[in-house]
Chains A and B, each alone.
Chain A
Amino acid sequence: MAKEKRNIMKNKISSILINLTLFIIATITISPLLWMLFVSFMPSGSSSSYPPPFLPNEITIEHYKILFTKLNLLNYFLNSLVLSISISLISVLVNSMAGFAFAKLFFPHKDKLFRFLLASLVVPGQVTMLPLFFILNKLGFINTYWGLIIPGMASIFGIFLIKQYLYSIPDTLIEAARIDGASDFTIYYKIILPLCKPILVTLTIFTFIGTWNDFLWPLIIMTDDSMYTLPVALANLMGEHALDTELMMAGSVLTTLPIIILFMFLQRYYIEGITAGSIKE
């Protein structure tokens, strides 16, 4: 009896300790982002004081106004948006077609080709950057959306993800459709795409967020101010307005907030994608 009571006590204490630790870690995790949000509404210069303020004493939106009226932020925002939407939509189409062929159709050397693609995943993207820059330069795609869209149209990881998912769809379903006279295009369009919807949504969000946050490649391709994406513009702004903390925070909020909101709504799909990608056969 006494032992049971002690066990209940022990469980209660460990429950409190675990939840308290989680709460502390959550606070540490979220504070830098809350600080960013609060400082972006402070009047210029007021965050540079001691002790550093966490909440604004008075609220102003002047930094957001300056960003949109004087610093061309809307333009960068639209660049990021157009690129992220087009790359994620095009690549999901291209990758799902290839994934379908690799999983359900037959052609010579299929498995060899796929193994070769998987093996090349170990090549870091940086290796290709300089030659790719020259190729796109020759094609006249520097400082155009195409310079980012074209290399982003297909991804080995995307093909892999869709191929894995298609294993869960039985071959008999496709055989049956074929017997009914459906062509491979009809099968892809009428059976595969609807059944793959969850993984397609996952891949689209993955690519969207990845493109939105990408820095090194847009930094190389977009050398003209009007073509900057948000991260490139923000890094550039940092060079000129480093002393204006509040303005920089407003810029950071506009860069990160859309993606955080998107994630909040679609997090189920995003997290499924991570666990799907981590399960190795």
Chain B
Amino acid sequence: MNYINKYGIAFLFIAPAITVLFFFFFVPVFAAFVMSFTDFDIYALADFKNILFIGFKNYQNLITDPLFWTALKNTLYFVVIGGPLSVIVSLSVAILVNSKVAKFKTFFRTIFFIPVVTTIVAVSVVWKYLYHPRFGLINYILNYFSIEPIDWLGNSDYAMPAIIIMAIWKNFGYNMIIFVAGLQSIPEQLYEAAKIDGANEWQKFYNITMPMLSQTTIFVCIITMIGYFQLFSEPYVMTQGGPLNSTLSIVLLMYQHGFKWWSMGYSVSIAFMLFVIIYAVTLFQLKWQKKKEI
């Protein structure tokens, strides 16, 4: 009784959030973990008695499934090439916008940020037409630089680069905002002192900006990477994973198994693999940063 009196109100305040998170987040995570060791399929949906525990079979099938390796390879391509490119573009634009001589700063910042708030499905539709081999604006502009028309989304060598270019366009503004905040927190005196010592612009960037931004950079790298691992809408709308599975991503494969082919046990094991990969890479990045600090 005393206990309830003492903390009752605090419990009332957290109750709605904790209840929702418990039943609609933590229970599903646990259920997914259990499901990944079963042969959960369309028959199991009708009657739970049809569920069989099959141990690690889903995971064994996964690592011998060539389609999973294709999806993993494509997703890594997107993360490893697209992620760093996106961070570099964001940082470069942030430095330009933040420079003392830049005019109309707020205007530029707003423009750069607009793609971030747009709906990914809608801009995927737009870019699909921009990438059209004959009537697309992109090939038309490339033509000015004497580049032959490219079948962006129809050629398995170009489909993923096309998605990467669009993804960078869509989200560089987000990281740019974080970098601008980071740049503004660097004390001006550091640059003044360096100037007195005769440092040039590159030396100032390498010896002041880069180290002072390392916290921000690692944060940006981690959130960008986590987001990029979850690639789904772009290939779903633009290529359906094609051509020749060259844009099939892990989440797209998971979606197809779970909600198209109804092999749900297998689908959740894909989701768990994604979780393990994201978790491992995040830990690795944090460790790597700690090492650099020492």
Q: Which residues of A contact B (CB under 8 A)?
A: 11, 14-15, 18-19, 21-22, 25-26, 28-33, 35-36, 39, 47-52, 54, 94-95, 97-98, 100-102, 105-108, 117, 120, 122-135, 150-151, 153-154, 156, 159, 183-185, 188, 209, 212-213, 215-216, 220, 230-232, 234-235, 238, 245, 248-249, 251-252, 255-256, 259-260, 263-264, 267, 270-271, 274-275, 278, 280
Is B177 interfacial (CB 8 A cutoff)?
yes
- Is B52 part of the contact surface with A, judged by Cβ < 8 Å? no
**Inter-subunit contact A220/B259 (CB<8 Å):** yes
Residues of B within 8 A of A (CB): 7, 9-11, 13-14, 16-18, 20-21, 23-29, 31-32, 35, 45, 93, 96-97, 99, 101-103, 108, 110-115, 117-123, 125-130, 134-137, 140, 169, 173-174, 177-178, 181, 215-216, 219-220, 226, 229-230, 232-233, 236-237, 251, 254-255, 258-259, 264, 267-268, 271-272, 274-275, 278-279, 282
Q: Nearest residue in B to A274 (C-beta to C-beta)? A: B177
- A142 nearest CB across to chain B (Å): 12
In the complex, A184 Cα to B112 Cα: how many Å?
43
> Are A267's CB and B27's CB within 8 A?
no
CB-based contact A126/B251 at 8 Å = yes
Cβ contact within 8 Å between B32 and A30? no
State whether B25 touches A128 (Cβ < 8 A).
Answer: yes
List the 3 closest pairs (A to B, CB-CB), nearest first: A98-B17, A131-B31, A15-B101
Task: Indicate if the CB atoms of B121 and A35 lie closer than 8 Å.
Answer: no
Give the distance in Å from the alpha carbon of A183 to the alpha carbon of B13 in the complex: 13
Assuming the A-B contacts A22-B102, A106-B7, A124-B229, are A259 and B130 also in contact, with contact meaning beta carbons closer than 8 angstroms in the complex? no
Q: Which chain A residues lie closer than 8 Å to B268 at the CB level? A: 127, 130-131
Chain A to chain B contacts (Cβ below 8 Å), 6 pairs: A19-B102, A29-B173, A97-B17, A249-B126, A271-B113, A280-B219
Are B31 and A154 in contact, CB atoms less than 8 angstroms apart? no
Chain A hits for B272, CB < 8 A: 127
**Once the chains bind, are B17 and A126 in contact (CB under 8 Å)?**
no
For the complex, give the distance between the alpha carbons of A154 and B24 in Å: 10
B275 touches A127 (CB 8 A): yes
Query: A127 and B32 in contact (CB under 8 A), knowing A35-B137, A108-B7, A234-B125?
Result: yes
Q: Flag if B20 contacts A213 (CB, 8 Å).
A: no
Chain A residues whose CB sits within 8 angstroms of the CB of B11 once the complex forms: 107
* Additional A-B contact list (7), CB under 8 Å, known A33-B123, A129-B271, A216-B251: A50-B140, A52-B140, A97-B14, A97-B17, A134-B45, A220-B259, A260-B117
A231 to B124, CA, bound (A): 11
Report B-chain residues with C-beta under 8 Å of the C-beta of A235.
121, 236-237
Please determine whether B29 and A127 come into contact, CB atoms closer than 8 angstroms. Answer: yes
Docked-complex contact B216 and A278, CB < 8 angstroms: yes
B14: which of A15, A98, A213 is its contact (CB, 8 Å)? Answer: A98
B contact residues around A275 at 8 Å (CB)? 177-178, 181
Q: Which residue of A lies closest to B31 (CB)?
A: A131
B17 and A95: CB pair below 8 A? yes
Q: Are B16 and A97 in contact (CB under 8 A)?
A: yes
Is there contact, CB below 8 Å, between B169 and A29?
Answer: yes
Among B24, B97, B115, B274, find the residue whose CB has the most chain A CB atoms closer than 10 A: B24
B177 and A52 within 8 A (CB): no
Q: Is A18 a contact partner of B20 (Cβ separation < 8 A)?
A: no
B119 touches A25 (CB 8 A): no
A116 to chain B, nearest CB (A): 9
Identify the interface centre among B26, B125, B169, B230: most chain A CB within 10 Å of its CB: B125
Question: In the assembly, what is the distance between CA of A55 and CA of B81, in Å?
Answer: 34
Which A residues are in CB contact (< 8 Å) with B114? Answer: 29-30, 33, 260, 263
CB < 8 Å neighbour of B9 from A25, A94, A184: A184
* Residues in A whose Cβ lies below 8 Å from that of B140: 50-52
Q: Are A30 and B271 in contact (CB under 8 A)?
A: no
Taking CB as reference atom, which chain B residue is nearest A234? B121
Shortest distance from the beta carbon of A127 to any chain B beta carbon, whole Å:
4
